[in-house]
Amino acid sequence: MKSSDGKTFVYEKNPLVEVICQLRFPPILSIDAKAPADFQDTVRENFPRYQLNVEKVQRAGQVEEVRNHSFISEDGTYKLSLTKSFIALSTMRYTGWEDFAGTLDEPLGQFIQVYRPAYFERVGLRYVNAVNRKKLELNGRRWNDLFQPQYLGPLDDDAVDEEKVTKCAVELEMMRTEKIGLKLHAGPGRINRTVRTPNGVQTLQDPETHFIFDQDLYVRGNLKLPAVAESLSALHEEADRLFSDAITDALHEAMGPVVV
């Protein structure tokens, strides 16, 4: 994160529960025609565990089979996903943009070398934040003490009893800049935490109500390979600005900003 005076900081109590970077490209049929063994050889050192998930997806009235190849780091903190139309990196233990981008850099380069996509159709970066008042020692504070009015809807009204609200969310789609689009979900809810460990995946239900701030920023178009790094950097910076503008000083201080 960057403050208004240009200083870089991290939160000691980071609310991020998942970060996903996805790059979509025109379908490459060879990825489905045979197992991506050549690609696995290039990433196996950092992503030694392999899984194949076959999903059935309905598109344009037809059921399509999607083969999703997953390459997972030894400690389970990172997952690299590959299908015939996208490559993605996700983590539930985000430590900072430099680490995340650095983890993506080598496998993306190997993917480009092995499969030679002509261009990317969509480059997206998604940050899923879940703010827990109990963990931040903010019990008794209303959501409108922590988030700006435009992301709260009726919950910005002090007369509304939050305990009686079963569903209230802001859903927004817009262009943030000339090139960067945004899909946003903001509102209270409960989350299931998927924890990857060396022994497999566990899903844990959290009984606490969180404020979910799910921002999916993207760039579309025929993006040539040299433009990918620049696009990702721009998306990251826009995500920082969006989250910083959405929260109040009270929430910012409760999350423990540390200048680095």
The per-type count for the chain, helices as H runs and strands as E runs, is: 5, 13
pLDDT at 6 over 90: no
Instruction: Over range 39-58, report the average pLDDT.
Output: 93
Instruction: Over range 31-56, report the average pLDDT.
Output: 94
First to last CA, the chain: 10
pTM: 0.91
The predicted structure's pLDDT at residue 137: 96
**Closest listed residue to residue 24, CA positions, set 138, 122, 107:** 122
The predicted structure's pLDDT at residue 3: 66
CA dihedral 138, 144, 146, 149 (to 10 degrees): 170
Instruction: Over range 200-218, report the average pLDDT.
Output: 86
Instruction: Over range 136-147, report the average pLDDT.
Output: 96
Mean pLDDT of all residues in the chain? 92
Q: Strands (DSSP E) along 25-77, which ranges?
A: 49-59, 62-72
Residue pair 94/16 in contact (Cβ under 8 Å)? The answer is yes
Cβ-based neighbours of 42, under 8 Å, separated by 6 or more:
107, 110, 113, 114
Provide the token pair at 244: 């910083």
**Closest listed residue to residue 24, CA positions, set 86, 89, 83:** 86
Provide the token pair at 106: 């080598």
Give the C-alpha separation, 11 to 38, whole Å.
39
pLDDT at 147 over 70: yes
Q: How many CB atoms lie within 10 A of CB 29?
A: 7
List 59's β-bridge partners, or say none. Answer: 62
pLDDT band for position 226 (cuts 50, 70, 90)? confident
3-state SS assignment for residue 19: strand
The predicted structure's pLDDT at residue 125: 98
Per cent of the chain over pLDDT 90 is 82
Instruction: Over range 162-169, report the average pLDDT.
Output: 92
